[in-house]
Amino acid sequence: MQYRLLVSGDRDHFTTLAFDPSTKRLSILADYPAPFNASWVNPISLHNGIDYLVGLSEGEEAGSLYCFDINHARESCKITSEQPTLGAPAHFLTLRDKSALALSTYLGGSIALYPISISAENEMTLTDGPRTELFPEFPYKIPGHGPNQGRQQQCHLHQILEDRQGLLYAPDLGSDRVWIIRRDASRMEVCGWLACPPGTGARHAVFSPDESVMYVIGELSHTVMAFDLSSGPANAILPIDGFAPNIIPPSIHPDHHLMLDASELCLHPTNPSVLYASNRWSRHIAQRQPELKDVPTDLPTGDDIAIILLRDDGKKVKALKHVRTNIDVIRGMRLRDDGKYAVVVGQEGGGIEIYSITGEAGDIWSLQAGLSEGLVAFAVDRQGEALANIVNSDVLLHAPYFVPMLDNENQKMQNEGIEHREDNISPIDSDDPFDAENIVYGPSGFKGLIAAPYILGVSFLASLAGFSFGYDQGVISIILTMPQFHSVFPEIAPGSPTYGFSTGFLTGMLELGGFIGCLFFPFLADKYSRKWGLSIAMVFYIIGAILQTAAGNYATLVAGRFIGGIGVGTLTLGAPLYIGEIAPPNIRGSLLVLEQFSIVIGAVLAYWVSYGCRGIESEWAFRLPFFLQMPSALIVGTCIHFFPFSPRWLSMKGRDEEALAALTRLRRLPPTDSRVQQEWKGITADVKLQQAIRSKMHPGVTGVKLEVAGWMDLFRQKYRKRTMVALAIPFFQQFSGVNAFVYYAPIFFQALGQNTEKALILSGMVNICQLVACIGTFLCLDHFGRRNLAIWGGIAMGIPHAIMAGIVGKYHSSWSSNTGVGWLGVALIYIYILCYGFTYGPLGWTLPAEVFPSGIRATGIGAAVAMNWLANTCIGFAVPQMQVSIGFGTYIFFASFCFIAAIFSYFCVPETKGLTLEQMDSAFGDDAAAEEQDVRREVVKEVINGV
């Protein structure tokens, strides 16, 4: 029994070949004229000895879809109908209802339906009716993700499939999605997508036999993913956890992984527990990136096929094996529909090999026949009795093809099969062209935390710094009400002529110290490391705690609060900075949330510890809560040195090899792991880029002058509006009155007619409300947008204050006979706290991080944090005196600033959620980001070219 194969590709003819399994011989039968670069061919029927087929001719700007026939007797090929397509048509299929051909275009970024007619002899013709075309929306705000960002600047639809329900599935290499499309007679619409991790480059996909699972191969990530389709189409269907085999063979050095691309994916036609996936470019590593070290001189004979054995349900991987071929740059692979033979073809120099598939699991291959005659593509027919046997219409014929780069500078290299890569950098227009941020080490969220116990432990330890910060803020409110405290420090006792000033001064000194500390920490962290910065911060914190615990006079107590405040201020920057730099991208957000929760929990615990200690008759009623500041600080300051330095800081210091070692330890993976290598190179490249950008913005300026120039940049004309917004929002955050309630809640509740005991309990609930609001932060921020929260948050916070001013002004001397009004005041305080937590709570930290271009973002955030502390200092100083001197006017004061914040936000704050740098320029009416992008392009080119 013999078989016939049809071969096409990047040339102007088709070739038919004969394969005889009995003799293990593969030979050429005939050549036929054909359109140049036939990228996909599909058989339709055989009638009167003529094969009727459909094909694609690929072009960069435009291609063509055509019906043609091959007359074997006359050895001729004739096009019978033709329609134009957008650039680089990649794949098509005949819809099950025979109404149209569905076509995907790689450079056109579209899915199109071409109407067809089929004659009584099953001959297909493209009709002149209009085509239906859909352009999925490119999801990335900033083009470029993954190890080859030049390939991800727009949608690149690489394949199209149809399920039994008539839904179309289109893997999109550019957007890391598989689009799910619903169609009718006149239109198509996206009804969902499979969400591959960023940088995957979804290339091809196959259904399981019952279509409950789809397997997707990532060209750029070299992984195969599985998606559960049993629940129907939906937005952002995530891959099945634990299913992500990397198909690169162990023989390839990890340093060279990024020089390879994944290519084909097939499911065994009779054994659905076996997948076959191919790599390409194994022989071309040195050619594609000559500067790589340790490139082997004994090149492999060809690329590999990965055989993935699945468990019975198809949702878990049982084993992974590799078969080495003699094919150079595999660009096509198909299995015969009885699963006995596989055909593999090559792009570089052509070549075709046929393997027999044996073994119970289809995992044993043996070479049957090979041929190399400059063939660059292929298609496989169904089993037949003779060479003239018909090619059946249910078998797809695939011809590999070159994938043009979008960047004209790299077009010639891509046509030669070379992709210019260095340190994961591609010369594209991107805010972060070094893709260390889109590497996937595992699932995100809670599952990701459980799957990474080491990094969770390190981050938990660092988050105790946040706990210390929260504890120090929360410890003072009840202590200020203790008689034992008043007896030692009479200046703060109610009724003292200096009560208002002394209380405010004591509280405000913590904030003043925090203001100085947050200015001090960046120098500390950059010069001595994040770890040592935290340790030094803890030294200040512990000294402050010792002074507060042992203080016998007011001056010592104030000094302790001030010195402790310096430690607290450094912690507000230090802990998130260290956690953010050691955390893997997939769980960084969750770990930073852990730090935020630690702050709130610290405040809650401090309050209730102080509440519990107030029954102690001796001075230890207040000294013990002060003393308990120290344990968490000691743990952080000492234990942090058992964990690695920040890889980014090591890279900033030029200690790149140590950065790799630290990253290896943090990820619990060998240094040769491709993900570790990619993240390491991304970090080092990004550090170089940021340093270069600053140098280019201030040529010839170095050292302290460069730091000063960075701060002065904030007030340049083009950044002035951004700086105003970034500083105004944290200012309004504090002047809305939140920390007045945190520090002096018992005083406020007593002013509403509550007795001391109730006032203390109600004050504890303020911190509980903050904890609830902390959860609301992550529910509201991205849903409603920044501008809306700033406007409506100001109004929502101002209303409770205004009502409070009215009831306090009217009933302040008659609470005993108006208890219901007093409880209304309590409810209004809680409503305010919740409104703050949902709105201005997160805005003070989010907006400054978004409005600045990356070149001055760190400085801008530092300025915003400093403003937060400075405003906090003013509130801490002023509120006790305000309560004494103006009473209900305190609420009018806060209400006024809340309403001013809403008015300011309406006129001055643009919506920043999800904006690209260029869109941010438009929002602020300047060209700040565009200027930086010009610098960035120059820097990227220099880094790439080694200048």
Please give the structure tokens belonging to residue 164: 């039994």
pLDDT digits (tens, 9 = 90+) for 342-364: 888 887 666 788 888 887 778 88
DSSP state letter for 227 = E
Answer for the pair 588, 580: CB distance below 8 angstroms, yes or no.
Answer: yes
Strand partners, 41: 55, 397
Q: Cβ contacts of residue 854 below 8 Å, gap of 6+?
A: 431, 432, 690, 693, 917, 932
**pLDDT higher at 379 or 237:** 237
The DSSP annotation for 711-729 comes to: HHHTTSGGGHHHHHHHHHH
Strand partners, 265: 277
Task: HSE, CB side, 13 Å, CA atoms: give it for residue 307.
Answer: 19
**pLDDT higher at 297 or 300:** 300
Maximum separation of any 2 CA atoms in the chain, in Å = 114
- Considering only CA atoms, which of 834, 781, 769 is closest in space to residue 600? 769
398 SS3 class: strand
C-alpha span between 168 and 183 (Å, rounded): 8
Total Cβ atoms within 10 A of residue 609: 16
Please give the structure tokens belonging to residue 827: 């409810």
DSSP state letter for 143 = S
pLDDT at 146 over 80: no
- At 107, the pLDDT band (50, 70, 90 cuts) reads confident
C-alpha span between 798 and 377 (Å, rounded): 70
Q: Which of the listed ranges 142-151, 218-227, 244-253 does the model predict with the highest average pLDDT?
A: 218-227
What is the average per-residue pLDDT within 161-187? 91
- At 402, the pLDDT band (50, 70, 90 cuts) reads very low
Strands 111-118 and 100-105: antiparallel
Phi-psi region of 940 (alpha: psi -120 to 50; beta: other; left: phi over 0): alpha
Answer for the pair 170, 159: CB distance below 8 angstroms, yes or no.
Answer: yes
Total Cβ atoms within 10 A of residue 755: 9
- Considering only CA atoms, which of 564, 537, 552 is closest in space to residue 622? 552
- Among the listed ranges 27-31, 256-260, 753-757, 775-779, which one has the minimum average pLDDT value? 775-779
Percent of the chain with pLDDT over 90: 16
The whole-chain average pLDDT of the chain stands at 78
pLDDT digits (tens, 9 = 90+) for 802-854: 998 998 888 877 777 788 888 898 899 899 988 888 888 777 766 776 777 75
- Among the listed ranges 74-88, 429-443, 878-892, which one has the minimum average pLDDT value? 429-443
Any idea which residue has 């300011």 for tokens?
904
**What are the residue boundaries of the structural domains of the chain, listed by start?**
78-369, 442-643, 644-697, 716-914
C-alpha span between 358 and 767 (Å, rounded): 67
The pTM (predicted TM-score) of the whole model is 0.52
Give the C-alpha distances (Å, rounded to integers) separating 904 from 120, 777, 780, 852, 907. Answer: 73, 22, 21, 19, 5
pLDDT for the residue numbered 450: 79
3-state secondary structure 554-607: HHHHHHHHHHHHHHHHHHHHHHHHHHHHHCCHHHHHHHHHHHHHHHHHHHHHHH
pLDDT digits (tens, 9 = 90+) for 607-650: 889 888 988 989 999 999 999 988 888 888 888 888 889 888 89
Give the C-alpha distances (Å, rounded to integers) separating 867 from 72, 578, 734, 895, 907. Answer: 81, 22, 9, 20, 21
C-alpha span between 525 and 573 (Å, rounded): 10
What is the average per-residue pLDDT within 153-180? 92
pLDDT for the residue numbered 440: 59
Query: How would you class 138 by CB atoms within 10 Å of its CB: exposed for 0-12, middle for 13-18, buried for 19 or more?
Result: middle
- Considering only CA atoms, which of 796, 743, 805, 754 is closest in space to residue 773? 796
C-alpha span between 262 and 587 (Å, rounded): 27
pLDDT digits (tens, 9 = 90+) for 258-271: 778 888 999 998 88
pLDDT for the residue numbered 413: 27
- Considering only CA atoms, which of 162, 161, 165, 232 is closest in space to residue 202? 161
**pLDDT higher at 592 or 248:** 248
Query: How would you class 631 by CB atoms within 10 Å of its CB: exposed for 0-12, middle for 13-18, buried for 19 or more?
Result: middle
User: Is the CATH number 2.130.10.10 carried by domain 78-369?
Assistant: yes
H-state helical runs in 674-818: 674-697, 703-713, 720-735, 738-751, 756-784, 786-811
**pLDDT higher at 98 or 771:** 98
Strand partners, 224: 217
C-alpha span between 117 and 40 (Å, rounded): 20
C-alpha span between 901 and 894 (Å, rounded): 11
pLDDT at 603 over 90: no
3-state secondary structure 877-919: HHHHHHHHHCCCHHHHHHHHHHHHHHHHHHHHCCCCCCCCHHH
pLDDT for the residue numbered 892: 93
What is the average per-residue pLDDT within 873-887? 81
C-alpha span between 140 and 144 (Å, rounded): 8
C-alpha span between 892 and 804 (Å, rounded): 8
pLDDT for the residue numbered 336: 80
Answer for the pair 206, 215: CB distance below 8 angstroms, yes or no.
Answer: yes
3-state secondary structure 440-461: CCCCCHHHHHHHCHHHHHHHHH
Residue type for 602, please?
A: G
Q: Out of 3.40.50.2300, 1.20.1250.20, 1.10.3720.10, 3.40.50.10190, select the CATH number for domain 442-643.
A: 1.20.1250.20
C-alpha span between 659 and 440 (Å, rounded): 19
Please give the structure tokens belonging to residue 658: 């140590």
- At 416, the pLDDT band (50, 70, 90 cuts) reads very low
Total Cβ atoms within 10 A of residue 359: 11
Total Cβ atoms within 10 A of residue 232: 11
Answer for the pair 284, 329: CB distance below 8 angstroms, yes or no.
Answer: yes
C-alpha span between 502 and 876 (Å, rounded): 11
Q: Say whether 716-914 and 442-643 share the same fold.
A: yes
- At 168, the pLDDT band (50, 70, 90 cuts) reads very high
pLDDT for the residue numbered 41: 79
Which CATH class for the 716-914 domain?
Answer: mainly alpha
C-alpha span between 536 and 547 (Å, rounded): 17
Q: Cβ contacts of residue 783 below 8 Å, gap of 6+?
A: none
Helices (H) and strands (E) in the chain, counts: 26, 29
Please give the structure tokens belonging to residue 195: 């969400």
C-alpha span between 19 and 382 (Å, rounded): 12
pLDDT at 894 over 60: yes
pLDDT digits (tens, 9 = 90+) for 472-504: 877 887 888 888 999 999 988 888 888 878 888
Query: How would you class 938 by CB atoms within 10 Å of its CB: exposed for 0-12, middle for 13-18, buried for 19 or more?
Result: middle
pLDDT for the residue numbered 936: 55
Any idea which residue has 């996936």 for tokens?
277
The DSSP annotation for 236-280 comes to: TBPPPTT---B-S-TTS-GGGGGG-EEEEEEE-SS-TTEEEEEEE
645 SS3 class: coil
pLDDT at 277 over 90: yes
- Considering only CA atoms, which of 335, 327, 284, 287 is closest in space to residue 304? 327
pLDDT at 313 over 70: yes
User: Which H or E run contains 395?
Assistant: none
Query: How would you class 236 by CB atoms within 10 Å of its CB: exposed for 0-12, middle for 13-18, buried for 19 or more?
Result: exposed
Residue type for 616, please?
A: I
- Considering only CA atoms, which of 927, 425, 406, 915 is closest in space to residue 692? 425
- Considering only CA atoms, which of 632, 622, 636 is closest in space to residue 579? 636
Please give the structure tokens belonging to residue 932: 């930086």
Give the C-alpha distances (Å, rounded to integers) separating 690 from 548, 572, 607, 652. Answer: 42, 23, 43, 10
Please give the structure tokens belonging to residue 81: 């109908």
pLDDT for the residue numbered 914: 56
